[in-house]
Chain A
Amino acid sequence: MAAAIVPLLAPLITQVVVPEIAAIIRAHHNATGQMPTDAQVIAALGTDADGGISVGQAWLAAHPATPAS
């Protein structure tokens, strides 16, 4: 039984649990280990959104829609 479960749990832990816990810790603490302030989360929203917009727009510009694609 254990031999069958371990192969299922290993990718689950490495691909989901660890990244999610890391994201939770990052979300609750800033770079200095302190809990974030209102101003910091407002700034983080702008920074994170701008990053996604920038990456997405660059990709879209490099991959224009064509009838074939």
Chain B
Amino acid sequence: MSPLQRRKLLIAIEASALSMLLFMAACVHAPSSITTPQGQAAYTADQVVQRVNELENAAIQAEASKALPTNITRIIVQFCVSADMTLKTTPAGWQQTVSVAWKQAKAQIPASVLANPAWSATISGVDVVLAALGGTN
């Protein structure tokens, strides 16, 4: 591993860890103005939707710049569309469905893409959000 690759990997690892801490701090406590179970579930689901949309946008941008193969991008985008639909329709019971879909999507993505420092932080963001909010990955 070259010094540049090592540096990029270190940055990605630090970014993932920091994202995890910031996300946990932000999402564990919904704003105190949200008082109903429905509102709290919607708040949590919306946090996941935002991370899923970030992943979708990153994948589309990477595909447009030829940094990600179209077939891999399709897997990610299909997961994102499916996850958004589930989160919107079942904000209080999305965890199992979205987690299984994410696990299946990741299984189709080559290890070289998953290990790419440019992607690891974004992918870790989805991993973290699912692990933190009740799903498994």
A-B complex is real: yes
Contact code string B53-74 (vs A, CB < 8 Å = 1, else 0): 1001100100100000111011
Q: Which label, helix, strand, loop or mixed, suits the secondary structure of the A interface?
A: helix
Overall SS of chain B's interface = helix
Task: Annotate A41-65 by CB proximity to B: 1 below 8 A, 0 otherwise.
Answer: 1101110111111011101100101
Which residues of chain B (30-69) have a CB below 8 Å from chain A?
30-36, 38-39, 42-43, 45-47, 49-50, 52-53, 56-57, 60, 63, 69
Q: Is the beta-carbon distance between A56 and B77 smaller than 8 angstroms? A: yes
With a CB–CB cut-off of 8 A, which chain A residues contact B46? 27, 41, 44-45, 48-49
Bound Cα distance A35, B29 (Å): 13
Chain A residues in contact with chain B, CB under 8 A? Answer: 7-8, 11-12, 15-17, 20-21, 23-24, 27-29, 34-39, 41-42, 44-46, 48-53, 55-57, 59-60, 63, 65, 69
